[in-house]
Structure 1
Amino acid sequence: EAPAGEPGKADQAPVPPPAASTQGETSAPTPDAHPAEDAHHPDTRQDLTGLFTEKPQCGEVTVGENITFVAKVNADSLLKKPSVKWFKGKWMDLASKCGKHLQLKETYDRNTKVYTFEMQIVAAKPNFAGGYRCEVSSKDKFDSCNFDLAVHEARAPEGLDIRAAFRRT
């Protein structure tokens, strides 16, 4: 009975000490709870100051094919229309490179108040591979996102290896 009583006391013992030190632990969990809440709040704050509702994602394309990167911005909380810049590498602004292989497009949906910015690469070449960046700014707000493009060599049709024609036998 004594051993059975001791586990009973052991079961009860942990409960009263927390109850007895509830004041100390209440203030302890509250700071713990606040950082946990703060850990969630910065995320929402980032969402509020971060302008992207959809960021461009890394992509892969085969030589000669097209690929489109999409960035979406909710203009609900913005004072003026956001401006977007697309970069290749660290500094090459792609606005000047628009033409046959690169097209930039933007649309605005009045119902959802969402701007959609698109960068389409047409007939990709191997040297298009690398790191890209999309920057969006509106008055005092700014956001940027990095993404990569991988360009794969086109496969020879029907498994034909063109190098075979040049091999010495």
Structure 2
Amino acid sequence: MDLKSLIRDIPDFPKPGILFRDITTLLRNPEGLRYTIDTLTQKCKEVGLAADYVVGMESRGFIFGPPLAYHLNAGFIPVRKPGKLPAAVHTVEYELEYGFDQLEVHQDAIHPGSRVLIVDDLIATGGTAGATAKLLQQIGCELVGFAFIIELRDLGGRQQLPDVPVVTLIEY
């Protein structure tokens, strides 16, 4: 299946000069969505990405994480922006192009030694995925790999990640 044909390009969003890859057109297509989840699962299994938990970042990691976790017989853990989780959290701060941001995970969500697979819809510069990896490694988790639907190769995000397997379905 040609997944690129199901992804809409939106020029100048969210600001001039950016070409946004919109996955909502993929998500609304039942065959495309099924193919995406099935293929991502298959590729993860092929490279041996066995995990206790699939970790997805807010917000599109929440779309692909739970079905991937289901197929990999793993739990799902959300990583959120500050102030969204109701219990005690672990926090990591990371640098953005202009400023800083934070990510959080519940302290009782993951225990040291847990094997984790990080999933998101897209890797661009690698900032959010790299920060999530740092957060999980600070807790003492074993990072087994990353899974993304889309990789924007020219932005070099993969080079910002720890040296573990990275699975992607589409490259631009």
TM-score (norm 2): 0.21
Structure with greater contact order relative to length (CA < 8 Å, sep ≥ 6) = 1
TM-score (norm 1): 0.21
Greater C-alpha Rg: 1
